[in-house]
Amino acid sequence: MLEVKRLNKSFGQMQAVNDLSFQIEDGQILGLIGQNGAGKTTTFRMILGLMQADQGEVLWNGEPIGPKHQNLIGYLPEERGLYPKETVEHQIIYFGNLRGIPAPKLKQEVDAWLEKFAVKGKKSDKIKSLSKGNQQKVQLITTLIHRPKLVILDEPFSGLDPLNADIMKQAILELKKAGACVIFSSHNMANVEELCDQLLMIKDGKEVLAGTVTDIRESFGRIKVFLEAQVTLAELEALPYVEKVKEKQKLFEVTLTTPEAGKELFKFALKDDYIATFSQQPLSLEEIFKLKAGQVKRDE
């Protein structure tokens, strides 16, 4: 189990991380989200011991994380760290050696890892000859080659096409199944919603949202209705309990002033005795992210 307790880090007058606390149980995935500059990477670096906190502590199974825990950790940085002139095989063996795995054992495993992550290319190819997505998959292999118990992934889906993103998702879910603690950051809220057991959003280094994705969404109320009925855009916009309406083909996306207004909207839409679609939902995680990040206001 990873425990982060009241971490603080400043750079001059800028408070990069402000009294941040969370924990991840074995076999759990935590999504750490926030705008660029929110403090995510700084938090990762303090967990890894690459940066010293001004205050607070990071514990692994109740002990302060230190040098003896380093081979339990796998880290995929946002800025990739492969050597472009090295071959794929040599790169994997090199990073595996750094984790204490003998070269002969690594040589036996290279083919299986490349097949597992569907890397396009030969193990004798130089890193620079691979596509960006395949380079990223090789980097992921070097992150996981020692089968870490704590895995930190900083923007792991960046630049991946849908097929490679699915491979990344399966890798993360396999880590969870194996009992690892996984923490990853992403700007793609769909990935966060699909994968995470817990969510932590930070702004200016401070927690602004924490909990399960379902609980967080429900806490904002079911104010979104997807409606297909014999009504017009003008009619919906004129209703006093409707905040805004979007129309896409025959489907209306209606934002209500309160969740309770859903009953009134349903009665109104039923005026012709037929509703093809009526689905009342909480805000999407992306909408909540924008609200909490201060990018949009509810009345925009």
pLDDT digits (tens, 9 = 90+) for 169-184: 999 999 999 999 999 9
Per the domain annotation, does 164 fall within a domain? yes
Percent of the chain past pLDDT 90, that is, above it, reads 87
- Cα–Cα distance between 78 and 157 in angstroms, integer? 10
Percent of the chain past pLDDT 70, that is, above it, reads 98
Residues 144 and 8 in one domain: yes
Which CATH number is 186's domain given? 3.40.50.300
Query: How would DSSP label each residue in 73-128?
Result: EEEE-SS----TTSBHHHHHHHHHHHTT--HHHHHHHHHHHHHHTT--S-TTSBGG
Q: Any idea which residue has 């093809």 for tokens?
A: 276
Is residue 277 predicted with pLDDT exceeding 90?
A: yes
- Per-residue pLDDT of 200-249, as tens digits, reads 999 999 999 999 999 999 999 999 999 999 999 999 999 999 999 999 98
Per the domain annotation, does 291 fall within a domain? no
Is residue 150 predicted with pLDDT exceeding 70?
A: yes
Residues 107 and 226 in one domain: no
The whole-number average pLDDT for the span 51-61 is: 95
Residues 91 and 195 in one domain: yes
Residues 274 and 198 in one domain: no
Per the domain annotation, does 92 fall within a domain? yes
Per the domain annotation, does 50 fall within a domain? yes
Query: pTM score, two decimals?
Result: 0.87
The whole-number average pLDDT for the span 252-276 is: 95
CB within 8 Å of 135: residues ≥ 6 apart: 80, 82, 127
Residues 239 and 159 in one domain: no
Count of residues making up the chain: 300
Is residue 297 predicted with pLDDT exceeding 80?
A: no
The whole-number average pLDDT for the span 68-81 is: 89
Residues 240 and 194 in one domain: no
Residues 133 and 20 in one domain: yes
- Cα–Cα distance between 27 and 24 in angstroms, integer? 8
What pLDDT score does 213 carry? Answer: 92
Is residue 256 predicted with pLDDT exceeding 90?
A: yes
Residues 187 and 227 in one domain: no
CA-closest candidate to residue 56, choices 118, 121, 99, 7 = 7
Which of the four pLDDT bands, split at 50, 70 and 90, describes residue 112?
very high
Per the domain annotation, does 292 fall within a domain? no
Q: What's the domain range around 275?
A: 221-281
Q: Any idea which residue has 């491979």 for tokens?
A: 167
